[in-house]
Amino acid sequence: MSVAMNPGTAKASGPVVINDFVVKFANVNGSGSASANGMFAKSILRCGVPVAARNIFPSNIQGLPTWFEVRITEAGHLGRRGGVDLMVAMNPQTWDKDVAEIEPGGFLFYDCTKPLPPSKFRDDITVLGVPLTAMCNERYQLPRERQLFKNIVYLGSLAALLGIDPKVIETILTEQFAGRQKLIDANFEALHMGVSYVHEHLSPIRLQVRKADKVGDRIYVEGNAAAALGAVYGGATVCAWYPITPSTSLAEAFTGYCEDLRTDPDGKARYAIVQAEDEIASIGIVVGAGWNGARAFTCTSGPGISLMTEFIGLSYFAEIPAVIFDVQRGGPSTGMPTRTQQADLIGSAYAGHGDTKHPMLLPADPGECFEFGALAFDLSDRLQTTIFVMLDLDIGMNEWLTKPFAWDDTRQLDRGKVMTHDELEAGADFGRYKDVDGDGIPYRTYPGVHPNKGAYFTRGTSRNPYARYSEEGAIYVDNMQRLLRKFETAKLLIPAPIRRDAKRKTTDGVIYFGSTTPSMLEALDHLEGQGRHLDALRVRGFPFCDEVYDFVAAHERVFVVEQNRDAQLRTLLVNEGEIDPGKLVPVLHYDGTPITARFIAREIGQILALGQTEAAE
Amino acid sequence: MTYILKPQLHHPNLPTNARGFTRRDYEGSVSTLCAGCGHDSISSAIIQAAFELDLPPHQIAKLSGIGCSSKTPDYFMGASHGFNTVHGRMPSVLTGANLANKDLIYLGVSGDGDSASIGLGQFAHAVRRGVNMLYIVENNGVYGLTKGQFSATSDKGSKSKKGVVNHDSGIDLVGMALQLGATYVGRSFSGDKDQLIPLIKAGLAHKGAAFIDVISPCVQFNNHVGSTKSFDYVREHNEAVNRLDMIPARSPIHVDYAPGETVMVTQHDGSVLSLHKLAELYDPSDRGQALGFLGSRQAKGEIVTGLLYVDPEAGDLHDALDTVATPLNELDGAALVPGSKALAAINAGLR
């Protein structure tokens, strides 16, 4: 075996870092690296050390660059930190960019089969070469084997370099290939090829994984899978969807969970899933099922919301329950289909022509995707309207460490105000759009309920409280006012925001939501370390509860941190709460990568520092 | 447009059907369409068909899109839930409603603008999925509510009321339905009740995607010389392949036609279709032949009517999805929510 010399030696040194560093894998997509990289992250979790892993991938099936970033964080910071301590550079196409991204004093791991000129390296990093291609070409005959096992060999080498016990990875491999002993043996061999090479030619580096007990009972799961499971627990029976990144895996997960959890012993399904011809048909099926008393949902992304808008308006005006999971991606138009953003807030909140508004739930992690996924169905039945659950690609398609799913077995499905056969028979006055209880929510009936009572004609046109067509101005206005009352009622049902007060009294606040949360919390710690104190409020839904407006009123200046260009949450706050825009300072990150703690701390820190300077002058 | 309720006058001598309903029980509010509109004849045929089938009106869900034809579900079966959806999207809403409750009878009413233009995609996909429904297109070849534009079913060369000649090829929804896998396909004429009522009855009884194209002349905008959807043109060029009688499962079967001229077809629900063949070689169980026959007659300017194709053993979308017998909208929490124990097992698998 010919082994190229490592052109870089340990030129950079520094303190030993335990359980607090970032490893980034640069791969070519379609090369089978995803599974090996996933096992790397999982092996660290199995050591009791929290990880935050993120896929950064192209809109492509094979051949383009893809990255997998793993933050090892005993402190439990699950957002992106920014910067890379160890780059696993497996993709020549992105080599220069990848090498440049390494923090000074960091490490570069690469396949040293072919020598590279010294100009391709840096003086301030340590280079770790393993001749992966040479090793695999020598051991394996088939091109496919050579390619796939290369990933397992580097996994072994990394374990040896970082002090991860290979037995942990063996356990994961055994679970993954359960029952296929040949495959298990072959993977073990490749793993140990990597381990042995490091033992013979290199030595462990100063970035080390040590066993800890910081994971607890948390689970590691994608937000899309969690939301799909929430839909199962929320009693959804009809799912109509159209494939679109990054929401596809939500429908696929729902299918898998239903097969496992909702199939009768004779094989009959207690659910119906239709892959529709487009997003318009998807939401049409959902509206039809909701009208007929089944809990139904679709999952999509921004382009799908645009297409569904007409039906969303119908759901609002005809008052038909529907649930839409919007896994947001980079817009506008086709935008950045495989990158993350929180840029559908305004488009969803006000989807539809005419005066429309829709409740939204804003989960911050997969645990809340499950919780809100189930809650959305109660809310849509209770409020008889579309409920949006706003995920994004970062939460939806990455596995996050999150609190375990929990369910109270005494909980009942809230089907909302549905007039029954017996109530109709007993002579109840049924007016489909009549506000009986003063909360703006009328009663409905399911088709077929009674031979001669309770039938009504549903339409997207204006009508009177008894569902009869009317173009009378006063009747129209009454109905539109009732819909506003219903929206006020929604405020009481939306999950309350979560407040975290600073250790010292402050006039500065910050509002944030969704996938920004872990980076925000880390940034707050960081700012606090600099003596900068902010009260923080995590918004969990729309319309905003009074607590949100109270928080804004109680502070002189409120930063609003979000992942879009136009400060959409801030716009909603200004618009709905009639807040002075000057009071709300936007902090915006929208390049398609998940927001980092460093970014937030820097942006807010700079503005706070400026204020201090001005005060000093 | 205003909403006009029909006066509820008592007619003690109105005939009742087996369930004790009178024809009145299948009526809706007063039509606001133009006097003489073909669509009103179709509504009337639907009322008669449901009456003769002894259907409980509340067990029917009627859905439509937007347009003159789509307004009609308000004018029949007032005791049924109805849904006037959005333009061209009735098929998806009906599909969802059907998924929620397989026990109701689904009647979709649409027009040529609603189904052949904006809704062509949804029409196609609901048909190819085999949604259990009767889908009626009230086809007048014209946009009436917006005052006389050509629709996609207007024949090439036909003239508008203003004298404009249509230069686009017409879409034949019957041909499309056959090609897309509809398991019951018929065409009729709003002015031919004898043919239309049995076709609707059999379509309502059919399990699977049933489609009927009903030529329904627009008295305001498409009933002039030069139109191929006018009363006169359709009467002159109507080529009926058969005459249908539909006998519900529980009725004794009387066949009046001479053997050799009549085809008996038993549908899934036990009802019998008695087809009196007019075109000698026509076989309604052969999808390919139906398409060929349609094409050859169309080339001669003839409009083929009657039951063009039926698969009496057809299944539907619920069969394909293998759903439980209980309608999905009746499943309760116990049937739907797996509970905390199942969740604990899922959690364990995610560590």
pLDDT tens digits, B104-152: 999 999 999 999 999 999 999 999 999 999 999 999 988 988 888 999 9
Specify the 3-state DSSP secondary structure of A418: strand
Within a domain: residue B6?
Answer: no
User: How close A555 gets to chain B, by Cα (Å)?
Assistant: 40
Interface contact A446-B92, CB threshold 8 A: no
Within a domain: residue A335?
Answer: yes
pLDDT band at B160; cut points 50, 70, 90? confident
Tens of pLDDT, residues B41-93? 999 999 999 999 999 999 999 999 999 999 999 999 999 999 999 999 999 99
Within a domain: residue A416?
Answer: no
pLDDT band at A12; cut points 50, 70, 90? low
Total Cβ atoms within 10 A of residue B1 = 9
Within a domain: residue B244?
Answer: yes
- Give the DSSP H/E element, type plus range, for residue A108: strand A102-111
Residues from chain A contacting residue B129 (CB–CB below 8 Å): 274
Whether residue A10 has pLDDT greater than 80: no
Interface contact A406-B340, CB threshold 8 A: yes
Of B3, B89, B329, nearest to A294 by CB-CB distance is B329
Within a domain: residue A448?
Answer: yes
Structure tokens at A9: 């030696």
The number of residues making up chain B comes to 351
**Neighbouring-strand partners of residue A585:** A559
CA dihedral B61, B64, B68, B72 (to 10 degrees): 0
Whether residue B250 has pLDDT greater than 80: no
Q: Which of A402, A432, A464 is the last residue of a domain?
A: A402
Within a domain: residue A10?
Answer: no
Interface contact B79-A455, CB threshold 8 A: yes
Tens of pLDDT, residues B211-242? 999 999 998 888 888 888 888 888 888 888 88
Q: Which of A493, A511, A529 is the last residue of a domain?
A: A493
Residues from chain B contacting residue A416 (CB–CB below 8 Å): none
The rounded distance, in Å, linking the Cα atoms of A154 and A26 is: 12
Specify burial of residue B334 (Cβ count, 10 A radius: 0-12, 13-18, 19+): exposed
Q: Which domain holds residue A457?
A: 421-493
CA atoms within 13 A on the CB side of B114: 31
Q: Which of A208, A232, A252 is the last residue of a domain?
A: A208
Mean pLDDT, range A514-538, rounded to an integer:
97
Phi and psi, residue A159, nearest 5°? -60, -45
A285 touches chain B (CB under 8 A): yes
The number of residues making up chain A comes to 617
pLDDT band at A308; cut points 50, 70, 90? very high
Question: Which of B99, B125, B340, B347 is the best residue to mutate to test the A interface, defined by the most A CB atoms within 10 Å of its own CB?
Answer: B99
Same-domain check for residues A82 and A187:
yes
Within a domain: residue A480?
Answer: yes
Q: Are B184 and B211 in contact (CB under 8 A)?
A: yes
Question: Which of A217, A271, A292, A468 is the best residue to mutate to test the B interface, defined by the most B CB atoms within 10 Å of its own CB?
Answer: A292
Closest CA to B275 of B207, B203, B198, B209: B198
Interface contact A240-B339, CB threshold 8 A: no
Residues from chain B contacting residue A287 (CB–CB below 8 Å): 85, 93, 96
The rounded distance, in Å, linking the Cα atoms of A355 and A280 is: 21
Residues from chain A contacting residue B61 (CB–CB below 8 Å): 292, 447-448
Same-domain check for residues A72 and A161:
yes
Provide the ipTM.
0.95
The rounded distance, in Å, linking the Cα atoms of B339 and A296 is: 20
Output the pLDDT for position A6.
45
Within a domain: residue A259?
Answer: yes
Within a domain: residue A190?
Answer: yes
Output the pLDDT for position B256.
52
Interface contact A456-B340, CB threshold 8 A: no
User: How close B208 gets to chain A, by Cα (Å)?
Assistant: 17
Whether residue A317 has pLDDT greater than 80: yes
Distance (Å) of CA A77 to CA A74, A97, A127, A525: 8, 26, 27, 10
Q: Which domain holds residue B321?
A: 23-326
Q: Which residue of B has its CA nearest to A403?
A: B347
Interface contact A404-B347, CB threshold 8 A: yes
Output the pLDDT for position A4.
40
pLDDT band at B264; cut points 50, 70, 90? confident
Number of A to B CB contacts under 8 A, please give it.
231
The domain that holds B148 is classified in CATH as 3.40.50.970
A456 touches chain B (CB under 8 A): yes
The rounded distance, in Å, linking the Cα atoms of A545 and A577 is: 10
Total Cβ atoms within 10 A of residue A307 = 18
pLDDT band at A617; cut points 50, 70, 90? low
Same-domain check for residues A199 and A230:
no
pLDDT band at A1; cut points 50, 70, 90? very low
Structure tokens at B129: 């999925």
Q: Which residue of A has its CA nearest to B25?
A: A452
Total Cβ atoms within 10 A of residue B80 = 26
A449 touches chain B (CB under 8 A): yes
Output the pLDDT for position A614.
63
Mean pLDDT, range A430-459, rounded to an integer:
97
Question: Which of A285, A371, A375, A446 is the best residue to mutate to test the B interface, defined by the most B CB atoms within 10 Å of its own CB?
Answer: A285
A314 touches chain B (CB under 8 A): yes
Of B89, B325, B331, nearest to A284 by CB-CB distance is B89
Domain count, chain A: 4
Domain count, chain B: 1
Within a domain: residue B339?
Answer: no
Output the pLDDT for position B251.
67
Output the pLDDT for position A22.
97
Same-domain check for residues A430 and A347:
no
Output the pLDDT for position A3.
38
Whether residue B1 has pLDDT greater than 50: no
A235 touches chain B (CB under 8 A): yes
Total Cβ atoms within 10 A of residue A266 = 7
Within a domain: residue B14?
Answer: no
pLDDT band at A5; cut points 50, 70, 90? very low
**Neighbouring-strand partners of residue A274:** A240
Same-domain check for residues A146 and A249:
no
Residues from chain A contacting residue B79 (CB–CB below 8 Å): 451-452, 455
Residues from chain B contacting residue A366 (CB–CB below 8 Å): none
Specify burial of residue B122 (Cβ count, 10 A radius: 0-12, 13-18, 19+): buried
Same-domain check for residues A236 and A370:
yes
Tens of pLDDT, residues B280-300? 778 899 999 999 999 998 888
- Provide the phi-psi class of A453: left if phi over 0, else alpha when psi is between -120 and 50, else beta: beta
Same-domain check for residues A180 and A46:
yes
Q: Are B92 and A280 in contact (CB under 8 A)?
A: yes
Of A285, A447, A468, nearest to B104 by CB-CB distance is A447
B89 touches chain A (CB under 8 A): yes
More confident residue, A286 or B248: A286
The full DSSP string for B255-301 is --SPTTTEEEEE-TTS-EEEEEESSTT--TT-HHHHHHHHHHHHHTT
- HEC profile of A145-168: HHHHHHHHHHHHHHHHHHCCCHHH
B30 touches chain A (CB under 8 A): no
B23 touches chain A (CB under 8 A): no
The rounded distance, in Å, linking the Cα atoms of A523 and A601 is: 5
The rounded distance, in Å, linking the Cα atoms of A227 and A207 is: 35
Mean pLDDT, range A277-304, rounded to an integer:
98
Within a domain: residue A589?
Answer: yes
Q: Are A534 and A508 in contact (CB under 8 A)?
A: yes
The domain that holds A265 is classified in CATH as 3.40.50.970
Interface contact B329-A240, CB threshold 8 A: no
Within a domain: residue B3?
Answer: no
Same-domain check for residues A319 and A289:
yes
Same-domain check for residues A467 and A606:
no
Same-domain check for residues A61 and A159:
yes
Whether residue A9 has pLDDT greater than 90: no
Output the pLDDT for position B252.
59
The rounded distance, in Å, linking the Cα atoms of A253 and A227 is: 9
Same-domain check for residues A231 and A375:
yes
B73 touches chain A (CB under 8 A): yes
Tens of pLDDT, residues A50-109? 999 999 888 887 888 999 999 999 999 999 998 999 999 999 999 999 999 999 999 999
Same-domain check for residues A474 and A383:
no
Mean pLDDT, range A217-228, rounded to an integer:
98
Interface contact B96-A296, CB threshold 8 A: yes
Within a domain: residue B169?
Answer: yes
